[in-house]
């Protein structure tokens, strides 16, 4: 399996990494068999987290580490934010994983400005990470983040992290484009290693899984981490990686144009619809809609399974309050639209812009109670 350099760590992870979240769904013996199969196929990046099943995932990985520790790059994560808590967490993970050292240790879900301040303050988690590095318990410091690319940019400027892990897929590129457009160039300049997660957009891209995986593999990342709860899924992913050919520019553009998940509703942020006679920043409003619910509620009637999947995933990032506050501050709202229709013929993706502006406005002023909030 192909390997890539992971930034300044100089680690050489396999192009496909195995994440531990879905191992919680698998019985112990089957999980161990999956991990062994992955290692047998020359995969070498294993990642888990103390949060996954309250140690269940770590213990399953740890069973394999009893005999195969030196064959892999081992990573785990913690949500703890203070020095004392993070040191306890590291010791617990070492015990669960049956190892004396962790190669990459993540501060899990660094998505809020206040959390960045908390971990960097005296007595914060970063002091614990530094102590653990001096003691040889961890080799490299990292963080994962699901939203708010701006926070990640501040984090790598505030502390010399070795590795970052962020979601990268062709669907959410049009909801959170800063991951690719701003963060990736910045980390490349600083030689920070990048691990990509969620190449299938939390399972939403199941119809296009091969193209989805190729898309993320084509990006300048050291490793793409996938979850697998069956050997069949893992075999498919490994096959694609071993036959991987990067997407060409034309293939990427064709994917953006024809992907069924994007369809004729998701805004591609091309800006061809501008200028609007009323001064409406149409792409900006649709970007806020994407940050609100990933542009998943489009008022199209679907079969129950498809509806249920969208309803489950649309608020996964918990970004509604941020999107609504930002919309409130816009000087010109979607309601300024006079339905003149000048914009719609300009759209290469056949979006019904007038109707979509109405839908976006309804979402962004909705009083619907927010679900799980990841960022302020």
Which structure tokens are listed for 274? 């501008």
Q: Radius of gyration (Cα) for the chain, nearest Å? A: 21
Q: What is the maximum span of the chain, computed from C-alpha positions, in angstroms?
A: 69
- Binned at pLDDT 50, 70 and 90, residue 309 comes out as very high
Residue 74 has pLDDT above 50, yes or no: yes
Write phi, then psi, for 339 (nearest 5 degrees). Answer: 60, 35
In this predicted structure, what is the pLDDT of residue 369? 56
pLDDT in tens, 104-127: 999 998 988 899 999 999 999 999
CATH number, domain 7-254: 3.20.20.100
How far apart are alpha carbons 97 and 60 in whole angstroms? 8
Closest CA to 126 of 152, 107, 100: 107
pLDDT in tens, 184-218: 999 999 999 999 999 999 999 999 999 999 999 99
pLDDT (average), residues 264-284? 98
Closest CA to 335 of 369, 295, 365, 370: 365
In this predicted structure, what is the pLDDT of residue 146? 86
Question: Could you tell me where the beta strands, DSSP code E, fall in 214-268?
Answer: 223-226
Domain ranges of the chain: 7-254, 282-364
CB contact at 8 A, 125 and 81: yes
In this predicted structure, what is the pLDDT of residue 376? 45
How far apart are alpha carbons 256 and 268 in whole angstroms? 7
- Asked if residue 353 has a cis previous peptide bond (ω within 30° of 0), the answer is no
Which structure tokens are listed for 78? 């913690």
């Amino acid at each position: 399996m192909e390997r890539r350099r992971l930034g300044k760590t100089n680690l050489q992870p396999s192009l496909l990494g195995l994440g531990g979240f879905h191992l919680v769904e698998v019985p112990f013996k089957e999980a161990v068999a999956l991990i062994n199969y992955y290692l047998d196929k020359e995969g070498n990046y294993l990642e888990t987290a103390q949060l996954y099943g309250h140690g269940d995932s770590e213990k399953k990985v740890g069973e394999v580490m009893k005999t195969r520790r030196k064959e892999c790059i081992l990573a785990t994560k913690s949500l703890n934010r203070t020095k004392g808590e993070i040191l306890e967490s590291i010791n617990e993970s070492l015990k669960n994983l049956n190892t004396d050292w962790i190669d990459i240790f993540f501060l899990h879900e660094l998505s809020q400005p206040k959390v960045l301040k908390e971990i960097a303050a005296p007595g914060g988690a970063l002091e614990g990470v530094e102590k653990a590095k001096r003691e040889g318990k961890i080799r490299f410091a990292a963080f994962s983040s699901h939203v708010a690319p701006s926070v990640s940019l501040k984090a790598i400027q505030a502390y010399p992290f070795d590795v970052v892990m962020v979601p990268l897929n062709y669907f959410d590129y049009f909801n959170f484009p800063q991951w690719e457009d701003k963060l990736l160039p910045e980390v490349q300049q600083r030689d920070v290693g990048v691990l990509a997660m969620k190449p299938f957009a939390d399972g939403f891209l199941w119809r296009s899984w091969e193209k989805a995986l190729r898309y993320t593999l084509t990006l300048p990342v050291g490793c793409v981490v996938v979850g697998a709860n069956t050997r069949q899924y893992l075999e498919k992913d490994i096959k694609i990686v071993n036959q991987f050919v990067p997407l060409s520019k034309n293939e990427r553009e064709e994917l953006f144009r024809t992907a069924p998940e994007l369809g004729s509703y998701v805004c591609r942020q091309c800006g061809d619809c501008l200028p609007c006679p009323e001064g409406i920043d149409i792409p900006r409003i649709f970007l806020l809609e994407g940050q609100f619910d990933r542009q998943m509620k489009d008022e199209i009637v679907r079969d129950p399974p498809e509806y249920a999947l969208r309803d489950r995933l649309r608020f996964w990032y918990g970004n509604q309050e941020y999107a609504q506050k930002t919309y409130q501050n816009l000087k010109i709202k979607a309601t300024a639209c006079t339905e003149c229709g000048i914009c719609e013929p300009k759209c290469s993706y056949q979006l019904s812009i007038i109707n979509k502006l109405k839908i976006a406005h309804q979402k962004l002023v909705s009083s619907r109670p927010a679900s799980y909030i990841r960022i302020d």
